[in-house]
């Protein structure tokens, strides 16, 4: 089950299509969908979580809390829509595409992808691009 909540005024469009896309990406990677909660928020909200739970005093676009059990994917994914907007401008893409990249980035973490090293980051980016190319909506 995939749920979307907002701690700011952001509202996700096409929730059914986005959920189906996320579900298909989980399945294609050999995992099973459990309980997934996406929480959209602002920079301040996510910064507080980053400091409190990860001891990182920096802004970020996403924090993923992994509650998975084996191949059953469960987690809470917090996304700063402010960061997504700024990243879209910085990377010369539209907000929706960048939001979808961040959504799937969190899912990929839950599927075991890492992004700490150059090689891991490259594999993560390739998987993100593959997932984005498999969207049948926008």
Please return the burial class of 35, using the count of CB atoms within 10 Å of its CB with bins 0-12, 13-18 and 19+: middle
105 marked as binding residue: yes
Cα 34 to Cα 17, 40, 60, 81, 127: the distances in Å are 18, 19, 25, 24, 21
Nearest alpha-carbon partner for 99 in 49, 55, 73, 135: 135
94 marked as binding residue: no
Q: Please report the DSSP string for 31-74 in residue order.
A: -EEEEEEEEEE-HHHHHHHHHHHH---S--SEEEEE--BTTEEE
56 marked as binding residue: no
For 76, the 3-state DSSP assignment is: strand
Going by the annotation, the residues of the binding site are 105, 109, 115
In the annotated binding site for Zn(2+), the residues are 105, 109, 115
């Amino acid at each position: 089950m995939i749920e979307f909540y907002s701690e700011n005024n952001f509202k996700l469009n096409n929730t059914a299509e986005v959920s189906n896309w996320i579900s298909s990406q989980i399945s294609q990677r050999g995992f099973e969908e459990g309980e997934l909660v996406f929480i959209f928020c602002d920079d301040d909200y996510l910064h507080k979580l980053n400091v409190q739970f990860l001891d990182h005093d920096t802004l970020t676009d996403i924090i993923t809390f992994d509650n998975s059990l084996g191949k059953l994917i469960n987690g809470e994914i917090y996304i700063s829509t402010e960061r997504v907007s700024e990243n879209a401008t910085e990377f010369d893409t539209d907000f929706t595409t960048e939001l979808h990249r961040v959504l799937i980035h969190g899912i990929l973490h839950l599927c075991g992808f890492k992004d700490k090293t150059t090689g891991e980051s490259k594999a993560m980016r390739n998987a993100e691009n593959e997932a984005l190319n498999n969207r049948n909506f926008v």
